[in-house]
Amino acid sequence: VLVADFDAVLMRKDPPFDSEFFYATHLLSQAEREGALVLNSPAALREHPEKLAIMEFPQFIAPTLVTRSAADVRAFHQEHRDIILKPLDGMGGAGIFRVRDDGMNLGSIVETLNGNGAQTIMVQRFIPEIVDGDKRVLVIGGKPVPHTLARIPQGGEVRGNLAAGGLGVARPITPREREIAGVIGPKLAGRGLLLVGLDVIGDTLTEINVTSPTCFQEITEQSGFDVAKMFVDALEGEISGERLRPTTEGQDPF
């Protein structure tokens, strides 16, 4: 069976974006050249690493540093006093650390995350609104789902991720979240990213998830809005659009 024989191929491999993930996107790009419809677009997946993709939208993010330099991290901490450090290739809240004003264990944390200067990491100013939840805003076909899932940290954690024990609470989307999605969603949809998960803390964008965004089930169960139907409708629209395109120049697509 050829991949191109299917109506669509859904690429939803979880991070990390390691060599196997990278090679998979190239194989799927070859499938596209052979006529397959792949979503999300393999090329777009390569171009939008989930931690770094937010840098395209500085108007929505907290002060952020991307570096391998321990000295730069210390200078960032001196300026902002309360910071979050994270690896660039993690998921589910793995490897995320908070360092407060006293700087306790900052050196050890940096060494652990960056492998003594071998790995690039991300550092951000701590956003205190995390106590109200790390909100997942799903964007499908460039349009936001009308409900979000606030993932609320439990038991003294600063991580709200469900995989880290966070409590998921569905809420109507706020005007600020709709504003963020309204800018980012259409732009990413135009690049072949049918399904995107924006992470928002307070009014601040913290991450753009493009590999395997979740929270369909929790939002649907709690709000009654059928997220899966919205996704399938958008997917069918993509399939129909694909079928209208000639496979070769001058050939009738029907």
What pLDDT score does 89 carry? 86
Using 70 as the pLDDT threshold, list the residues of the chain that sit under it.
Answer: 242-254
The answer to whether residue 151 is catalytic is yes
Q: Which of 114, 151, 161, 177 is catalytic?
A: 151
Has 229 been annotated as catalytic? no
Residue 136 is among the residues annotated as catalytic for this protein: yes
- In the prediction, which pLDDT does 254 show? 26
Catalytic annotation on 187?
Answer: no
- Residue 129 falls in the annotated catalytic set: no
* Catalytic residue check, 199: yes
33 counts as catalytic: no
Residue 180 identity? I
pTM for this structure?
A: 0.90
What homologous superfamily is domain 63-126 in, according to CATH?
ATP-grasp fold, A domain (3.30.1490.20)
Taking alpha carbons only, the member of 207, 249, 240, 236 closest to residue 50 is 207
- 146/38 Cα distance (integer angstroms): 26
Active site residue 245: no
Task: Please tell me which residue in 40, 114, 136, 218 is annotated as part of the active site.
Answer: 136
Cα–Cα dist 137/70, whole Å: 33
Return d(Cα 84, Cα 146) in angstroms, integer: 29
Indicate where the chain has its CATH 3.30.1490.20 domain(s): 63-126
Q: Which of 51, 89, 134, 135 is catalytic?
A: 51
Looking at the chain, the domain(s) classified CATH 3.30.470.20 span 129-239
Query: Which pLDDT does position 78 carry in this prediction?
Result: 98
Catalytic pick among 50, 89, 177, 207: 207
**Active-site choice (50, 86, 125, 135):** 86
pLDDT at site 159? 86
The CATH homologous superfamily of the domain defined by 129-239: ATP-grasp fold, B domain (3.30.470.20)
Q: Do 153 and 160 contact (CB within 8 A), yes or no?
A: yes
pLDDT at 156: 84
Q: Are 17 and 211 in contact (CB under 8 A)?
A: yes
